[in-house]
Amino acid sequence: MTAKLVVLISGNGSNLQALIDAIRMKVLPAEIVLVVANRTTAFGLERAKQAGIPAGYLLLKPYLDAGRTRVEYDADLAKMLAASKPDWVVLAGWMHILSATFLKHFPYRVVNLHPALPGKFPGAHAIEEAFAAFQRGEIKQTGCMVHLVPDEAVDAGPVIGVAETPIYRSDTLEMLANRLHQAEHKLLVQSLQRLIVGDDEEDE
């Protein structure tokens, strides 16, 4: 079975690239049918273009400037994605919280990648917060997780996969971020593989 993926991005798209590479190497039985960004400058759009993947963007600011609501934006975003009939919607660095208006169109089909362990450091500054907590002596490691997004709770939902990442005393924030991103790339592919193929092969 080849799963149809729509990938939502906001920036560089390195996790999108990890998916593109895994599909190309036949590690992940999937096809990316659409990439959507919420920024016109997101480099991930160029990555999609180079891979021959349909891509576009939908900006929130024009909605807000016109006095329209976040819910209207989410409804239009859902409509944009629904045309591609995705099996899974993958949030790979997507920096908007999705409302129930969007999520109801893809129940338990929205997958999020977050650079923190379950229950730790929700929100957009997880790496910085983990690094600060380490410096205060509160934690010795951090990590990343992939989870389903059933509702509007931020970075919470049934966990598909987790990867722990050590923090070293010699680390800078940039060094930790780079190590986490490497872990994210592997975990996202593994987690989607698990969702698409299931766990049967691991039991053999």
Given 105, 114, 125, 185, the catalytic residue: 114
What is the b/e burial string over 145-173, where b = at least 16 CB atoms within 10 angstroms of the residue's CB? bbbbbeeeeebbbeebbebebebeeebee
Say if CB 165 and CB 139 are below 8 A apart.
no
96 is catalytic: no
Question: Active-site positions?
Answer: 114
